[in-house]
Amino acid sequence: MAEVNRRDFLKAAGVGAAGLSVAAAGSYWNSYHEGQSAFSMQGQEHRQGHEYFNREPFRVDKVTPFSWEVIGPDLPDNHSVGGIHRIDMRWYYGERFKSAGHAVAGSNPAVGYDLTKGDLDCMPNTWPSNGLAGLSTFYQKYYDLYPMMVDVDKEYKYDWLPQLVERFKASIDSRASFNANEGLIAMARSEAQRAVPVSSITTPPEENDWSGVSARRAVFESPELASQLIKRMAADLGATFVGVTPLNKGWVAYSHAPLGGLGGGTGGRGFGLNTPIKIPEWWDNAILVTGTMSWDVNAGDPNYGDSWTGYNISSQIAQQMVKFLKYLGYPARWHSPFGGYDFPVPGIAAECGMGEIGRTSNCLAPDFGGNVRPAVITTSLPLAADKPVDFNLAEFCSRCKLCAQVCPTQAISYADQPDFEIYGLRRFCTNLAKCRDGWNLGAGPMGCRACISVCPWTKKNTWVHRFVREVLSHDATGTSQNVAIWAERTLYPKNYADDLNPPNYKGVYEPPKWITTNEYVSSFVNTPMGVK
């Protein structure tokens, strides 16, 4: 091959020195701007704050009535804020569901009930002949406030629990066998996700929130710029979504309880147990951060998937953001899956525009569906708030009902519209006791996320799914919703209800091969401990 010198090459290319300069400048300009794209930073896409679903056209001034409708009334003694009843965890766990105290934490051989502790619930073993008048003063007060819970609790106590306990006892061996064999890799992955510990909060806000706060405070040019920085920093730490909203004090729990729920497992997060929570005056704003759980693994829920991925991501980001805020001179406190909460999160997620509350009582995002495990940071830093969104979830949820059909314990409402009234709100009913039982009944890693897996909004970021999301979000007629629901039922084979329970232990969808044990493991031998 003949050698071509530089001058001959430039002549052949039809450019001189000036042309080459122009070409180089143009190349540099294009390369520089292409390099600004999040997609050019391989493996770092979400850390640039990029969101592929544009929420701005769907912003509204107020959370949609489909998410919830405040109906009040206000309760005395600071039990309510703006008609929303602050959840008294003494009601929720401390008395109504003492069965929560029987739940065994951990996943080997299976999450479940300690059957040596006797009765799983403190309601009378038979319903009193004189009805509510035959109950304790505690129950009478509770059901007077929330009469729709009477039938829910009676069905749970007298119809559901007896057969659940029998099913649980009968499946102990089969669940242990699943976890030791077919589910081994899923279990090992779950343990790996838990390997890096995340701190819990054990001191009250006046101590915890201010500990380590810099004596010199950074004053921002504007709340808008402060929010911009907060979102960019959270994205840099790994958050796929960040939202800001003034903290709605109605969501703050009235108390923590010793038997579980919110901060109960960590000694009340410094507030104490069975003690009314005084809301700190510096809890002005709530910053919601979230990552996603593994898309492939969660398709195999409930027996192959787990929540630890999402728990880790959001808990770590929340703690890091607290450190960041304190360094800038502002008090901050995290509320996270591993660190405990002082309030339920779905309402905050809806108010900051992550999504809308769906049939499952979770906040469903237009880009992630339910595949999120959010954490929240409370702080006094002045921030510009995000508005809620309305992306036509009401039209979709009222027709779909796949989550109700797939639920292993049938804990989700089939109603066409929100019709359940509790805690001063009208919303869909999820039987949370049955939902918790679904976590305990299955095999594999901790918990059940079948409703998240089956939700048609829980789809990966492909051009087809982006197109469908945009169409569904703009179409208020219901036509596209019907087509999408038909496609979901027809094109995506799935398992329902009892198929997910013992002895079948299936996932909503077939689990990915890479997490199926028999794809890799041929047999088991005793480990030669201390040898190699």
Residue type, 459: K
Kindly tell me if the per-residue pLDDT of 21 is higher than 90.
no
How many domains does one find in the chain?
Answer: 1
Whether residue 210 contacts residue 333, with contact meaning beta carbons closer than 8 Å, is answered with no
Residue 361 lies in a domain: yes
Confidence of residue 96 (pLDDT cuts 50, 70, 90): low
* Per-residue pLDDT, 194: 83
Task: Please name the helix (run of DSSP H) or strand (run of DSSP E) that holds residue 112, with its range, or none.
Answer: strand 112-113
Residue with tokens 């790996």: 192
Residue 293 lies in a domain: yes
- Give me the residues paired with residue 286 across strands: 245, 378
Kindly tell me if the per-residue pLDDT of 315 is higher than 60.
yes
Q: Copy the structure tokens of residue 179.
A: 């976890």
Q: 107 — alpha (psi -120 to 50), left (phi > 0) or beta?
A: alpha
Tell me which residue of 476, 193, 421 sits closest to 307, measured CA to CA.
193
> Average pLDDT in the 399-425 region?
96
Residue 15 lies in a domain: no
Query: pTM of the full predicted structure?
Result: 0.89
The overall longest dimension of the chain from CA atoms, in Å, is 106
Residue 86 lies in a domain: yes
Rounded CA-CA distance 71/84 in Å is 8
Residue 21 lies in a domain: no
Residue 390 lies in a domain: yes
Provide the residue range defining the domain that includes 166.
56-519
* Per-residue pLDDT, 253: 94
Percent of the chain whose pLDDT exceeds 70: 84
Residue 443 lies in a domain: yes
Does 302 sit behind a cis peptide bond, omega within 30 degrees of 0 on the bond before it?
yes
Residue 451 lies in a domain: yes
> Average pLDDT in the 219-244 region?
96
Rounded CA-CA distance 58/53 in Å is 11
Report pLDDT digits (tens) over 102-129: 444 333 333 445 555 554 455 777 889 9
Confidence of residue 505 (pLDDT cuts 50, 70, 90): very high
CA angle 297, 191, 458 (to 5 degrees): 25
